[in-house]
Amino acid sequence: MDRIPCNTCYTEDFRPLFSKASSRGETFRIVECKRCGLVQVNPQPSPGEVAKYYEDSYFTRRTDRGYDDYYSESTKREISRVYNLNLGDLDFFTWEKNLGPSKTALDVGCAAGYFLDYLRDRDWQAKGLDIASGPVAFAVNELKLDVEQTDFLTWDPAGTKQFDLITLWASLEHLHYPKQTLEKILLHLKPGGRLILSTCRYGLLARTLGPKWRYLNVPEHLYYYSLDGIEKLCMELGYLPLSHISYGSGLTMRKNAGWKFKVSKKISDWAVKFFDQGDMMALSFGKTKY
């Protein structure tokens, strides 16, 4: 466990919020940067220590942190449905129509490659990177996708490979070096290219629920950005904010849910999206530095 400076502004002045136990019973401290407001796990475990939380059971056994069989066709369909909704809200399809026939994309933290498969069906040339061996093996062997098991920060360090689209779907919060990742993505974006990212949002719902907030999964999630915080960071790095959406009321659909729960969820999900207070957010950025 290392005490580290804030990844956004590099200060070491933090306001303690609370502590939270992991699925293995280890306790982690959640703090807020006094200068820029980034909420984070600090001190942080090393990448090697965090890796033990990503054993393949994370993808195959339902917990409050993992999936209910991530490799199932039903999970793939649900994830693709969310992609489609987010991309529609971000006006991706209008932009996509103006690209030439050789559209290229890179998905950082691609897991089993479901977004690559989604893009392949739309005639994109798509590549994925991830560090988890199980999902990468599934992407390569079962879906026949172009996926490498590697760390993005050490992959093609000169930025020679260029893409029209780079995505970070629910990956940024997992990274030890999110700012450096965003900086490196700029090297790989073509002029006129786009970055699309989604991440959990530290906003009204997170502050209200505190340690009970559904995305406070430690140490898998290391950083918790506010909407203003992620937009400001990306602008400082050289991105142009194009559009964003927030969604998710915290009511997670469960099997055999009654009609009252379903109605409550539908109304709550609509309300947080309408008032821009959801605890998930998806954002689209252009590139201002060439």
- For residue 224, the domain's CATH number is 3.40.50.150
Tokens describing residue 120:
């392949």
Is residue 32 in a domain? no
Assigned domain for 24 exists: no
Determine the Cα–Cα distance for residues 9 and 224; give it in Å rounded to an integer.
Answer: 14
pLDDT bin (cut points 50, 70, 90) of residue 267 is very high
Q: Are 77 and 33 in contact (CB under 8 A)?
A: no
Band of pLDDT at residue 67, cut at 50, 70 and 90: low
pLDDT at 106: 98
Pick the closest to residue 30 from 41, 45, 38 (CA basis). Answer: 41
Checking if the pLDDT of 283 tops 70, the result is yes
Closest alpha carbon to 198 in 162, 266, 242, 246: 246
Residue 186 has pLDDT above 70, yes or no: yes
Rounded to the nearest 10°, the torsion over CA 208, 209, 215, 221 is 80
Domain assignment present for residue 28? The answer is no
In a domain, 42, yes or no: no
0.75 exceeded by the pTM? Answer: yes
Please report whether residue 11 resides in a domain: no
The count of domains in the chain is 1
Q: Is residue 223 part of a domain?
A: yes
* Domain assignment of residue 234, yes or no: yes
Examine residue 126 and state whether it is found in any structural domain, yes or no: yes
Higher pLDDT, 193 or 74: 193
Q: Which domain holds residue 263?
A: 49-287
Backbone φ/ψ region at 170: left (φ over 0), alpha (ψ -120 to 50), beta: left
